[in-house]
Structure 1
Amino acid sequence: MRSPTLLTQIVMVANAVVLVVAVGVLLVLPTPEEPAARHTSASAGASGGPKGPAAPPEAELPSADLPPAVVATPEFARQVKANEAGLVPVLMYHRIVKKRRASIDRTPAQVRGEMEKLARDGYVPVTAREFVTGRMDIPAGKHPVVLTFDDGHSSHFALDEAGVPVKDTAVGIIYQVAEKYPDFRPVATFWVNRQPFGLQKRADQARAVQWLASRGFEVANHTWSHPYLPGLSRKRIAEQLVRVERMLGELGAGPSETLALPFGAMPGARSTVQRGKWDGTPFRFKGVFLAGAQPSVSPFTEDYDWRAIQRIQSNGKKGECRRWCSQYWLEWLKKHPDQRYTADGDPERISIPGKLRGNISSKRRQQVNAY
């Protein structure tokens, strides 16, 4: 299915320029005061990796487990208005700070408000890895949303002395919303650079990464030093990617299956960020994400391109965001429910209205459940 209101190439380029400027400003700004108790040890959720001080007691938090699958018949799919050829919002966040210093910053209240709105509107989070592999096994009648956080900032994850995610961090907010709205699955994707979550000690990094991975979150590759990739040679790009892959392997969370491009900037030779090798270590991704300005098409459709997946900046409707950021697009999808991805609750079938049968990719057509 082709996305309605597709942006022109000029608009996409303009949006990318805006993002480059905004992230550039962000990178040179001083880091704001970090959340309280941000370096407290986290419980290791996987074996391996550097060892550190004893972890605090396990906290009781909502589970990321998916509900039991159903078998979707055409009649059932019709009843829940399933459309697994629909659009999926992939939301892009950066720093979460009390006082915004760059246009792409968000306050804790803004993030919390947006996620509560998502929950009320029937969205269920999935990770970028689940999206690109087509494992969006959410309940029937619900809509997937991919929550993504770039740069591994300290405002994304920290634990307090009780071993609970700090209130105003991304993970803390996600769990608060999940407590209030039980259908809001507490997962997200964190694309990190060389210092995940602002943690300097390798043991602290390992505990953080393993804590997240053990609870269904994804921690993946955003390059080592966040360079502008079109300005680098193939070898330098491979080095940027492999150094993060090696780090994540040492921390207990590799290899990455997804990559977010710094500044959303794609090198001229797109294959350089898809697969390759440096110093004997290979990398290979199943999904490469841009910093675009519209929802992604379904991974089951002919139009889907895993090498350049669109995202939506989390923001209001002012300035350049009047039509291209999250508030606009979430409102648009609510007004056009027939264009939105709606799940059938059946991992083995792709349920769609009969008129969309031809939109499904050839390798997926044997799974089609049309009504």
Structure 2
Amino acid sequence: MGRLGILGTTGAALVPLSLVALAGCADQDAKVVAQPAKAAKPAASQEARKAAAAKAAKVKANELGQIPVLMYHRIVAKPAGTDDRTPDQFRAELERLAKDGYVPITAREYTTGQIGIPAGRHPVVLTFDDSSPSQLTLDGSGQPKPDTAVGILMDVARKHPGFRPVATFYVIKDMFGTFGPEAQAQTLGWLRDNHFDVGNHTRDHLNLRGRSQDQVVGQIAAGHKLITSLIKDAPATLALPYGNQPSTKDWAIRGDSADVHYRYTGVFLAGYTPAASPFSKDFDPLGIPRIRAMDKVGDCARFCSTAWLDWLNAHPEDRYTSDGDVRTVAYPKFKAPYVAQRFTKYTLPY
């Protein structure tokens, strides 16, 4: 099923995506790429490759295409700001994603290339910042309340088989309105046990721009320690508060503070373009853009979720489309210059 993908490569995007070298990230490769199965005979391998290429061509696979990473905050009946969405708005956007052939994946899966979705489908990463109780509140039986983001997502998934109910939650110390380590561990444990992804958003949600290395690393490490003290799984990714990068970008992706060591596979911004596939030369794990969830109003007439989803529908050749095989990276031959060199042995051009 799905695979490793790559960001828009035709240059037709509303805002050009910068080419950023992946220096210093070669150690991530083992986590990103699945080893292809060995064929018994070279001839059989060639025949299988031809068949796989034909299948990829049939669904117009482009695993070098752009991937929307959508950014949400509160899901509330009475929005208090432009970052809030109503339950109806959130449900409508999920219904649209399902109708348009998208399948949710987590930020961990995206940054490590574990994009396991069916042939012809498109990945979307749903991210939630600030761990609001409107995103997840458990009822007395330990189940998500139906009007929360998780409750709505699970309901939409039930109505649309194949639409995975997964997302990534970037948590801070105000964790879903819970109090005490037991309640916090219960909530994070529910997310983990139900295949959701927990990411770091720092402990105190302070703007990291202009701060010293000790301050930056300290805040990230404190958030990392908070999560790992509650559940065993360490976060794989970080979302920067306010989308602001520290003066040295590397401080966000790796660091040590006291007894805490963190090393992430991706750092997310609050930008306004679709994101690159992890197998593209465009992919920059130090600054992955996200798309704000919003209708076409004001600046969002071009740069928020409704506008970008419209644009991707109108430019299917620039959108990530899976060939259904996680062992290969399939794409039209003319896009070959955009493949990151270390993934060339996994490519399937057609």
1:274 pairs with 2:253: yes
SS class of match (1:266): coil
Name the residue aligned to 1:205.
184
Give 2:53's aligned amino acid. Answer: P
Q: Is the 8 A contact 1:155 1:169 kept in 2?
A: yes
1:5 is aligned to 2:44:
no
What is residue 355 of structure 1 aligned with on the other side?
334
Q: Deviations over 1:229-282 (max 9, x none)?
A: 013211011111111111111111432110000000011111111111111321
1:331 lines up with 2:339 in the alignment: no
Deviation at residue 7 of structure 1 after TM alignment: 2.7
User: Does 2:135 align with 1:156?
Assistant: yes
How do 1:1-371 residues align onto structure 2 when only pairs under 5 Å count? 1=9, 3-7=11-15, 73-371=52-350
Residue type of the alignment partner of 1:235: D
Partner Cα distance (2:55, 2:187) in 1: 41
The amino acid across from 1:195 in the alignment is D
Q: Deviations over 1:202-244 (max 9, x none)?
A: 1011011111111110011000111110132110111111111
Unaligned 5+ segments in structure 2 are 1-8, 18-36, 38-47
Cα separation, 1, equivalents of 2:349 and 2:207: 44
Q: How many aligned residue pairs are there?
A: 312
CA positional deviation for 1:303:
1.1
- The answer to whether the Cα contact below 8 Å between 2:272 and 2:292 also exists between their aligned partners in 1 is yes
After superposition, the CA RMSD in angstroms is 1.7
Q: Could you tell me how far 1:183 is from its partner in structure 2?
A: 1.2
Decide whether the 8 Å contact of 2:75 with 2:149 is kept in 1.
Answer: yes
Q: Give the distance between the partners of 2:142 and 2:259, measured in 1 at CA.
A: 38
User: Is the CA contact (8 Å cut-off) linking 2:210 and 2:247 kept in structure 1?
Assistant: no
Closer, same or farther in 2 for the Cα pair 1:3/1:110, shift >3 Å? farther
The Cα shift of 1:187 comes to 0.3
CA–CA separation in structure 2 for the residues paired with 1:184 and 1:211 = 20
Equivalent-residue separation in structure 1 for 2:235 and 2:64 (angstroms): 26
Give secondary structure in 2 for the equivalent of 1:197.
coil
Q: Distance in 1 between matches of 2:260 and 2:10?
A: 38
Query: Any idea what SS the aligned residue of 1:225 has?
Result: coil
- Please name the residue that 1:13 is paired with: none
Normalized against structure 2, the TM-score is what?
Answer: 0.86
Give the TM-score taking structure 1 as reference length: 0.81
Give the equivalent residue in structure 2 for 1:44. none
SS of 1:323's equivalent in the other structure is helix
- Partners of 2:202 and 2:241 within 8 A in 1: yes
The answer to whether the Cα contact below 8 Å between 2:203 and 2:226 also exists between their aligned partners in 1 is no
| Alpha-carbon distance in structure 2 between the residues aligned to 1:370 and 1:310 | 27
Distance 2:207 2:302 in 1: 26
Provide the identity percentage: 45
Q: Distance in 1 between matches of 2:120 and 2:163?
A: 13
1:80-134 deviation digits (Å, cap 9, x = unpaired):
1110000000000001110111111100000000000000110000000000000
